[in-house]
Amino acid sequence: MTNLQIFLDIATEAALAAGAVLQGYLGKLEGAIIEKGRPGDLVTAADKASEAEILSILRRHFPQHSILAEESGKLGNQDNQYLWAIDPLDGTTNYAHQYPAFAVSIGLLVDGVPQVGVIYNPFHDELFRAATGLGATRNRYSIQVSEISDLSKSLLVTGFAYDRRETSDNNYAEFCHLTHLTQGVRRSGSAALDLAYVACGRVDGYWERGISPWDVVAGVVLLQEAGGKVTAYDGSPFNIESGRILATNGKIHDQLSHQLVVVPPLSMWK
């Protein structure tokens, strides 16, 4: 077995264990929901318990690896070439309302490059896995991106950052603009699932601002292994620290990139 296959298998073990934790807490939070700062940025006992389960498994197998986790921050030697990016509950607001769009996301960067990704939605028991050169799967069956090549025939998905009330750079103009140009734009509330859904062809493209590395590392690997494309809004190389991502089936990528660049600000809309 290659190192990437081993990493993928351990990440899968951790994601499934964390998913079981989330299932156990679902609908039983009993008011144990806290806002971390901005309105809507929630953390629950389930987030923390899920993360603790993931950290336990990763540390047992890879004690020298560095970790970037949403709730715990940076752990271990951050100079190590292996960095795990962990979101123990992507879609906490959905989860707190028992809305079935949430997931565990575990990604691995090797020398700064996303190489392994596992996304698990325990509510629907959907397990997405990928590693560089090993392909992408949903529940062990191969997946690939859609064949849609015309933006006007596409279905997109996006999200809105927690600071949307505080800045004019809030994705509202982009959402309105692209809703007019496509067959629709959805908002799931989980960046990890958005990327997984592009990878398996349920939607054709995704963009968002205000994201963190733990939101997208796993999904980037999944999408690329499924034949998709990931860049910055303007088509330049994707920077994991930029907070912005454009991810598509590759066939509508240039069209969507162009529209994100030329979108008029909200002040110009009638």
Is 125 assigned a ligand-binding role in the annotation?
no
Please tell me the distance from the alpha carbon of residue 167 to that of residue 127, in angstroms, as a whole number.
Answer: 35
87 in a labelled binding site: yes
Give me the amino acid identity at 244: R
- Burial-class residue 184 by CB neighbours within 10 Å (0-12, 13-18, 19+): exposed
Q: Is 13 annotated as a binding residue?
A: no
Q: How many CB atoms lie within 10 A of CB 77?
A: 12
Q: Kindly list the strands in the beta sheet with 82-90, ordered across the sheet, starting from the edge strand earlier in the chain.
A: 73-75, 66-69, 82-90, 103-110, 113-121, 126-131, 135-138, 141-142
Rg for the chain, CA atoms, rounded: 18
Q: Is 55 annotated as a binding residue?
A: no
Which residue type does 250 have? Answer: G
Burial 12-36 (b: 16+ CB within 10 A, else e): bbbbbbbbebbeebbeeeeeebeee
| 79 annotated as ligand-binding | no
Whole-number Å distance between alpha carbons of 214 and 75: 13
Q: Which residues are annotated as a binding site for Mg(2+)?
A: 70, 87, 89-90, 215
Q: Which residues are annotated as a binding site?
A: 70, 87, 89-90, 215
